[in-house]
A = this chain, B = another copy of it.
């Protein structure tokens, strides 16, 4: 079944916002078995909105429109669709009451402009919105069932899953299945090389299976898409090839779609009943942020001391001021002292520390921007340190450093004491691009 996506908003055609909604919808629709034949992006312009919906109504069976359902004067979707259909816009009282109730729940009165969000094309099916004020709506245009969803990604996703999937997915025969494998620590070309013989054209390639790669720094996601006579056969085929992919990627493969590396590292800690302490300098709280994004992280994370200033490194982590003066804050002895200080202070089982130069300023010939020292302290083991040189801008250096710190923790939790002390980290090179 052919589908098309219409993204509405001048912020998109003016390049002020990346169209991540269309990408998300395309991926979901493809996974559900639809063939997406076009995305169109148009400004807040009634005529263009109407003309595009009308054109899609002649070309596809499913249209997904997003955006233009807000309370402001440039939100025109309902008006444009109504005009194109030759119907009027009518106030949908139940939706208005839902919007009012939403405000009441937080002890406020609905602002006057929000009334507009309950004005929908006459005859449209209303799509209740449980996570925001704007309801969506659905209409028939030519051959196409057309759904109009809010542009706010969270609301758009919610309405898609709550209204579009239950109605439309059963109409598509499912003959494909896709498995996602997330990996960290290899470049895209290295991943492609390891998977060369099982990818299309390779000696072990399986008919009906396509591998896709998506780089989302610092991760590479591998997608295994299998097509077969029915969904069960496709699932079996995809699972089989996915197992091969995981084997080739070794411990660089860490999870599937929607998994997070920090949560995966947390599971390693939970499995050993270890408590973690973190001491951050250049990463500035990012490691803590990543670790606490998933719920339940309080089971293993005890403390993250972001000691941005040298005085804080002394006062909170007990780093010796003389060591700071002699070696500088970005050094192995300071990384070691930070990790050991965090371990002691938090009575933790393992502690990781970062101290480096995220840039753009602060670099030198001796310690260029991107230099980061890591310390890894464990109860009853020698503290390890390593230096990495990351490239890219401030954000990239900080992200690469935070992930590497997590990786050190994961390795510590996965290793026996001997393997770790024996230099299990030596094989590691700077893999940041």
Contacts and interface: CB of A to CB of B under 8 A. Distances in A.
Which of A11, A25, A131, A306 is most buried by chain B, counting CB atoms within 10 A of its CB? A306
A203 interface: no
Given A16-B212, A37-B48, A189-B71, A309 B316 contact: no
A285 interface: yes
Interface stretch (A137-145, A358-366, A371-379): A358-366
Contacts of A291: 284-285
B41 A38 contact: yes
A201 B40 CA distance: 29
Nearest to A303: B312
Contacts of A284: 288-289, 291-293, 297, 301, 304
A346 interface: yes
Given A111-B189, A347-B315, A70 B213 contact: yes
A72 B114 CA distance: 51
Given A285-B286, A295-B361, A111 B190 contact: yes
Contacts of A23: 12, 15, 17-19
Nearest to A306: B304
Interface stretch (A26-34, A238-246, A319-327, A414-422): A26-34
Contacts of A196: 113
B315 A308 contact: no
A217 B19 CA distance: 16
A45 B39 contact: no
Interface residues of A, number: 117
Contacts of A37: 13, 42-43, 45, 48
A296 interface: yes
A230 interface: no
A200 interface: yes
Contact of A288 (B16, B24, B288): B288
A130 to B, nearest CB: 11
Contact of A301 (B277, B301, B308): B308
A24 to B, nearest CB: 7
Given A38-B42, A106-B430, A429-B108, A192 B72 contact: yes
A248 to B, nearest CB: 14
Contact of A306 (B26, B72, B306, B433): B306
A199 interface: yes
Contacts of A91: none
Nearest to A74: B212
Nearest 7 pairs between A and B by C-beta?
A: A285-B288, A284-B292, A15-B27, A15-B26, A304-B306, A285-B285, A39-B41
Interface of A: 10-20, 22-30, 36-45, 48, 52, 70-74, 106-108, 111-114, 131-133, 152, 154, 187-190, 192-193, 196, 199-201, 210-215, 217, 223, 275, 277-278, 280, 283-293, 295-298, 301-309, 311-312, 315-316, 345-347, 358-361, 389, 391-396, 398, 429-430, 433
